[in-house]
Structure 1
Amino acid sequence: MTEIKVPIIGYMNSPYLEKFGIPRQPNLVQVESYIEMLEPYNDLLAFEGINEFSHLWLIWQFHDNKNQQAKEKFRPQVRPPRLGGNKKIGVFSTRSMYRPAPMGLSVVQLKEVKKVGRSVRVYVTGSDLLNGTPIIDIKPYIQYSDAVLDAESGYAQDQPERMAVIWTENAEQQKQNLIKCQNLDSRIMNELEQVLALDPRPAYQDDAERIYKMNFAHFDVSFRVGVACITVTEIIQLSA
């Protein structure tokens, strides 16, 4: 079997510091992130005309997939989180990371491409990529051909429901202190609430008393999940 080698053109810089909490599809959360382009792809000439497109396709690599890296035997079926994590379905009927080629595909909204020092950065919103994800290619999204309005999406036809997010008095005080003392952009907290509202827990976990922890944008966030709401109990800044 012939293997195809592809270049890495850049790396994603995003607030998703771990797999836990990453939305299961792009554009569910309008998180801002950027791609740091590598040489020789960090040439603004390569992006001439890209501002005429509102959205982009990102082709990327599942780089933190330990089972994939170990080159385990091909598994024809997986357990999608959308089906509760218990029901098996064919791998080619899912977007699971456990697949023959560790490649992902995401649509994101383009904000801007700009030079920062010697670097060229592609700023986007709506990404579902882990911080440090290798980017393989960038392509423009074509509305008339890429958007299929009457498409059927099987078990994932409907968007996931969003839960209310509330803060305990202690967590709210911690949040306000971070915003004031660390000169923190309140946008980060808005993005955090969008992530939490999607209930980041594995589908098979349902313990109302359990305290979950998640690293997001260099913060350690603790929360509980109730019947209809997420309660943030603590937020602290991670050590540099």
Structure 2
Amino acid sequence: MTEVGRIFTPYQTKFGVPKQGGMVLSDESYIELSPKFSLDSVRGLDIGQFIWILWEFHQCEGKEKELIRPPKLGGNEKMGVFAARSPFRPNNIAMSLVRLIRIESQDSKVKLFLEGADMVTGTPVLDIKPYHPIADSPWTEYPAPWFVKEPLETKHVEFSCEVPEDYKELIEEVLRLDPRPAYHDDPGRIYVNHLRRLDVHWKVYGETIEVVKTVQKGK
């Protein structure tokens, strides 16, 4: 299978990447199509519409598992790989629903700018398909799986240090989802998220996440 491009996101490492697409909307990302694809390949895609991205779990090679331990279940309960969205799959293929913001073409490079991505930057993209509400929506009501908590549990985010203004919304959206594995419960521990060119240091106490330090990296 040949990739059709690469997606570039704020997420420099797997830790802190949203668990599903659409959870963080201030994370403008883009797909840069492979050189063989021109604007003709995206003709008919409408700005503002939702699209499916099929992509590769390229950092999980050689780790196929039949039973997995979803982190959000505490790391103790096992589920079948086909009952979960674990990256450790027979074929390292994932899919995400994102929203198309704009399309740009410069120097023969076509870029699709998106919101709601949930991939590490540099992830190979295998295919792009339009979302069709009629075809892609369930034809009958279906309850969420038992392990999905509704509504989504979130934390309150506070800042006790200086934060670049153009990062603040992104940091809040990422951290309110509490990126820690469910089995982590150490109030004194400092965690670090790598977002674009900023290292974000934070800790948890109760229902609050406190950002204690940020470090800018390069240009």
Superposed pair shares fold, TM > 0.5: yes
5 Å-filtered alignment, 1:34-183, equals 34-41=30-37, 43-51=38-46, 54-65=49-60, 68=61, 71-72=62-63, 74-148=64-138, 150-154=141-145, 155-156=147-148, 158-168=150-160, 171=161, 174-175=162-163, 178-179=164-165
Distance 1:52 1:164, change over 3 A: closer
Contact 1:56 1:141 in 2 (8 A): yes
Shift in Å, 1:151: 2.4
Q: Report the counterpart of residue 182 of structure 1 in structure 2.
A: none
Distance 2:177 2:15 in 1: 12
- One-letter identity of the residue aligned with 2:120: L
Shift in Å, 1:213: 1.0
Contact 2:35 2:108 in 1 (8 A): no
Distance 1:150 1:124, change over 3 A: same
Identity across the alignment (%)? 34
Contact 1:82 1:156 in 2 (8 A): no
Could you tell me the TM-score, scaled by structure 2's length? 0.93
- One-letter identity of the residue aligned with 2:116: G
For residues 199-234 of structure 1, give each alpha carbon's deviation from its aligned partner in whole angstroms, at most 9, with x where no partner exists: 011111011111111111110110011111100000
For residues 38-67 of structure 1, give each alpha carbon's deviation from its aligned partner in whole angstroms, at most 9, with x where no partner exists: 1212x00111110166100000001112xx
Contact 1:29 1:126 in 2 (8 A): yes
Paired residue total? 216
Distance 1:214 1:83 in 2: 22
Q: Report the counterpart of residue 193 of structure 2 in structure 1.
A: 214
Secondary structure at 2:46's aligned position in 1? helix
Distance 1:226 1:52 in 2: 41
Higher helix share: 1
Shift in Å, 1:236: 1.1
- One-letter identity of the residue aligned with 2:168: M
Distance 1:32 1:142, change over 3 A: same
Shift in Å, 1:12: 0.6
Q: Report the counterpart of residue 15 of structure 2 in structure 1.
A: 20
Q: Report the counterpart of residue 3 of structure 1 in structure 2.
A: none
Gaps of 5+ in 2: none
The CA RMSD over aligned residues, in Å, is 1.6
Distance 1:152 1:20, change over 3 A: same
Q: Report the counterpart of residue 183 of structure 2 in structure 1.
A: 204
- One-letter identity of the residue aligned with 1:14: T
Secondary structure at 2:184's aligned position in 1? coil
